[in-house]
Amino acid sequence: MESLDEILRQAEAAHGHLCAGQILGVRMALLGLARLGIADPRAADRKRLVTFVEIDRCATDAIALVTGCRLGKRALKFRDWGKMAATFVDLSTSRAIRIAAREDSRELAARLYPHLETKSQQQMQAYRELPDADLFTEQWVRAELDPADRPGYKAPRIVCARCGEGVNFGRVAEVGGEQLCISCAHPGLRYWQPCDPPA
Ligand SMILES: [Zn+2]
Ligand SMILES: [Zn+2]
């Protein structure tokens, strides 16, 4: 991998700004890759890794950048748990490590860098300099991936009997003998509701 500074430059360009969350995310991803022994996630090792992220904040963009895992490649899995944590899964060995940011690292940053003006500056400095053990907890875990959740898995699409929209494998519910999409089978789960067009 490139140096931390070089990766942070790329993260800044991709994310639109450099922030404490970016630095923390970059460090978290580098630690995960190091523990798994994955040296080149964006090229030679690009099919080895799946990453679960547990928050939709700045750090997640950085993790996607460093690991090369993207939603559109099915290699980035989002669990909306609001936690600054990620699990890195090596598909070639089935080893997985979950890494979480330590909640006390913010206080540590304030204690160590009181001369820096803002919390954000203190955190950015801390996240650049402190050893991994001060920033993260880590745990080896098992994270079973259903074959259908792996990148590259292929299966036929189904057409919903009610709305006529196509649905990828595994996202269909059988209701009264009909194959329905989730939105037709469970309207209560919809994130949208039909309404009149804007005037
Ligand atoms: Zn940010
Ligand atoms: Zn439908």
Task: Provide mean pLDDT across the span 181-188.
Answer: 95
How confident is the model over 76-88, as a mean pLDDT? 97
Ligand 2 centroid to Cα of residue 165, in Å, is 6
Give the pLDDT confidence of 20-54 residue by residue, as tens digits. Answer: 999 999 999 999 999 999 999 988 888 899 999 99
Note the pLDDT of residue 123.
95
CA of 145 to the centre of ligand 1 (A): 30
**Residue 155 confidence (pLDDT):** 85
pLDDT for 139: 98
Q: From the CA of 155, how far away is ligand 2's center (Å)?
A: 19
Work out the angle between the directed axes of helices 58-67 and 20-36 (0-180°, nearest 10): 40
- Cα–Cα distance for residue pair 199/188, rounded to 1 Å: 27
Task: Please tell me the predicted confidence (pLDDT) of residue 176.
Answer: 93
Instruction: Write down the pLDDT at residue 84.
Output: 96
Give the per-residue pLDDT at 85. 98
Ligand 1 centroid–CA 8 distance in Å is 12
Helix, strand, coil in percent for the chain, rounding step 5: 40, 20, 45
Res. 1: pLDDT tops 80:
no
| 3-state secondary structure at position 82 | coil
- Averaged over 185-195, what is the pLDDT? 93
Q: Which ligand is nearest to the CA of 163?
A: 2
What was the pLDDT predicted at 173?
94
Of the candidates 95, 125, 136, which has an alpha carbon nearest to the alpha carbon of residue 23? Answer: 125
Give the global pTM: 0.90
> Which amino acid, residue 143?
A
CA distance 12 to 16: 6
Task: Summarize pLDDT for 84-128 with one digit per residue, the tens.
Answer: 999 999 999 999 999 999 999 999 999 999 999 999 999 999 999
Answer whether residue 161 shows pLDDT above 90: yes
The pLDDT tens digits of the residues spanning 137-158 come to 999 999 988 888 888 888 889 9
* Residue 56: per-residue pLDDT: 93
Ligand nearest to the CA of 187: 2
